Amino acid sequence: MIRNGPWLVAAFMMALAATSTHAANCTAESSGQRVALLELYTSEGCNSCPPTDRWVSELPRRGFTPDRVLTLAFHVDYWNYLGWTDPFSRAQFSERQRVASLRNRARVVYTPQLLLNGRDYRRGAVFDDFGERLGALNRDPARARISLQMQADGPAGLGVNGTATVADAAARGGAQAYLALYENNLSNDVPAGENRGKRLRHDFVVRELVGPFAVDPDGVARIRHRFSVEPRWKSGDLHVAAFVQSERSGDVLQALASPACR
């Protein structure tokens, strides 16, 4: 029995380490600089979407990192009838695009579409003014403060608690907070539809969008959610994002992204 003592200690330490890993805690706080939100509405069933998907994937290499812009790719489901069902698509994302189009008084929804802080953004055929447009937004002070606490709940769960605070009383009306889980470095071989035979690569793919969380009269939205993490999702490529948006104008008061706590 005495000879087994060191083995028992080692086993205990390994179990303790495993428990600590599964109970990892992480925090994320937004800065005083305004971070913009770039939304991409796309589909694997749309043959004009891959170039814009690639443009979005290249943004971090061009210096447009999450401390300047939160990028979220929403795969819509209304092209699924063309012969290929986009595995990343959700009806919820199609509905979000329709709401934004109504807000902006647009007559149609289409893909690929980019929204920068809630407004339609179209890249020029020759001149790309994204850096200029983003710089103007970044120069504004943040109009909200976001604080998140994350706790890994084993390999299949991620709990998120936090607050989004809008100090300016004039900006509180209609302000809402949202929480998202997104994944990078995804690829898919498409055997049917408009992109038949192509291997498509994606980043910033929204796995789940939660909200809205209403801002109360004191200017605080309380965020609480547990994400169920599917085994096929790559934990090292998962990120948690939060943003505060005006329901009326679509303007984004602040945004925040952080690697998921795993």
DSSP letter, residue 1:
-
Over range 172-195, report the average pLDDT.
95
Q: Mean pLDDT of all residues in the chain?
A: 90
**pLDDT band for position 1 (50/70/90)?**
very low
**pTM of the full predicted structure?**
0.89
Give the whole-number percent of the chain exceeding pLDDT 90.
Answer: 81
**Is 90 exceeded by the pLDDT of residue 156?**
no
Tell me if 69 is assigned to some domain: yes
For 100, the domain range is: 24-259
**pLDDT band for position 23 (50/70/90)?**
low
**Is 70 exceeded by the pLDDT of residue 7?**
no
According to DSSP, the β-strands at 25-29 and 145-152 are: antiparallel
**Is 90 exceeded by the pLDDT of residue 8?**
no
pLDDT for 17 equals 42
CATH number at residue 50: 2.60.40.10
Over range 183-197, report the average pLDDT.
96
Tell me if 5 is assigned to some domain: no
Q: How far apart are CA 85 and CA 94, in angstroms?
A: 14
Tell me if 111 is assigned to some domain: yes
Tell me if 218 is assigned to some domain: yes
Tell me if 2 is assigned to some domain: no
Nearest alpha-carbon partner for 200 in 40, 42, 39: 42
Gyration radius of the chain's alpha carbons: 21
**Is 70 exceeded by the pLDDT of residue 68?**
yes
DSSP bridge partners of 115: 39, 120
Which residues, including other chains, have CB under 8 Å from residue 175's CB and lie 6 or more apart? 144, 166, 215, 221, 244, 245, 246, 247, 253
pLDDT digits (tens, 9 = 90+) for 78-117: 999 999 999 999 999 999 999 999 999 998 999 999 999 9
**Is 80 exceeded by the pLDDT of residue 75?**
yes
Over range 220-242, report the average pLDDT.
95
pLDDT for 184 equals 98
Nearest alpha-carbon partner for 213 in 250, 179, 241: 179
When comparing pLDDT for 200 and 124, which is higher?
200
Q: How many domains are contained in the chain?
A: 1
Nearest alpha-carbon partner for 246 in 163, 164, 148, 130: 164
Q: How far apart are CA 31 and CA 26, in angstroms?
A: 17
Tell me if 108 is assigned to some domain: yes
Tell me if 35 is assigned to some domain: yes
**Is 60 exceeded by the pLDDT of residue 4?**
no
Tell me if 3 is assigned to some domain: no
**Is 80 exceeded by the pLDDT of residue 27?**
yes
